[in-house]
Amino acid sequence: MKRPFINGMDVSFLDEIEVAGGTFAEDGAKEDLLVLLKRSGVNSIRLRIWNEPPGGFCNLERTLLMAKRIKALGLHFLLDFHYSDGWADPAKQFKPKAWEKLSFDELAHAVGDYTTQVLIALQTQGTLPDMVQIGNEITPGMLWDDGKVDGEFNTPEQWEKFTRLVKAGTAAAKAVDPSINVMIHIDRGGDLPASVAFYERFQEYGVAFDTIGLSFYPWWHGTLDDLRANLAKLATAFGKEINVVETAYPWTLQKGPIPEPIVNSKEQTHAGYPASPEGQAAYLRDFLQIIRDMPGGLGTGFYWWEPAWIPAKSEWSVGHDNNWANLTLFDYEGRRLPALDALLPV
């Protein structure tokens, strides 16, 4: 039976926003964000988890609390293992401090043991994730330098080590519950050659997983046409389900209360989609249609990255300012934007 199309949102900052007093509203009425999102057609929530984040959010303790809220609403749940104490992305894949001095064999065991520990804790309270990511945007590898595979580290020996680390995580997840959907996530939504090369390597090294995950941000990854071509090729080449697990688009270029937005100029926007509430809504509608039109029906859905990261405070646990609040699906005061209507049946 085909799974429902995923209309997903990564709201990992929600916990911190609420602690700071941030609120969300529709038609002037304040409401629990998760309730509001579900009513708007959202059916899945993604959370990131960090091992021991110094800021105290996105750790296991806080993830357990958030998972209860997600499952209480009957929402699908994706957990994104970064295997780091902070951001893991193509520019940095730093080991957790507690793992820095481990041998490679010990590191591989740590990945498996930690994955098991987290999933058992969630399972015990009845909130086991439906899907997990083993690593976040792992195009250049993970747990550097042991699992690094870009630049001078792009060698067969390094790919063997990198994929062994990934296999430790995937095996642990499947051992907890074989029905957990395992995603492998890279950042190259519009880069066909790099995407194909990456998943061919995983095929070569025998990494078993269920879903291909891609990030697609137009100012970094190309056009919607680039995304369409990449999705079509990946679907036909690998025959796996594909989820565009991160995207976003601006509703304004006016920085308002945020110091310096990541997207701050017209040159960074996609042709045909102005940085306005209407332009953002048009982007989401057309983006969704590309995923729905994938060959073989292999497009399983998407997640908007941090649609609710409003400027509720000036200093954040992650150690930098909020540079994302013009890429959300809520305005600076937490009021729902029209792009969310794109998720509802016509």
Q: Which among 16, 137, 241, 306 is annotated as catalytic?
A: 137
239: tokens are 């025959």
- C-alpha distance from residue 190 to each of 76, 198, 209, 275, 307 (Å): 27, 14, 22, 20, 21
| Sequence-separated (6 or more) residues with CB below 8 Å from residue 34 | 11, 14, 45, 69, 70, 73, 75
Q: Where are the alpha helices (DSSP H) in 239-319?
A: 277-292
Q: How confident is the model at residue 342, as a pLDDT?
A: 96
Q: How confident is the model at residue 2, as a pLDDT?
A: 67
61 as an active site residue: the answer is no
Run of H or E residues at 167: helix 156-176
Q: How confident is the model at residue 256, as a pLDDT?
A: 87
Query: pLDDT (tens digit, 9 = 90+) per residue, 224-255?
Result: 999 999 999 999 999 999 999 999 999 999 98
Mean pLDDT of 284-298: 97
pTM above 0.85, yes or no: yes
- pLDDT tier at 3, thresholds 50, 70, 90: confident
Q: How confident is the model at residue 344, as a pLDDT?
A: 87
Q: How confident is the model at residue 86, as a pLDDT?
A: 98
Query: For the chain, what percent of residues have pLDDT higher than 90?
Result: 96
Mean pLDDT of the chain, nearest integer: 97
Q: How many other C-beta atoms are found inside a 10 Å radius of the C-beta of residue 289?
A: 13
333 as an active site residue: the answer is no
Q: Which among 16, 241, 246, 306 is annotated as catalytic?
A: 246
- Inform me whether the pLDDT recorded for 1 exceeds 60: no
- Inform me whether the pLDDT recorded for 111 exceeds 90: yes
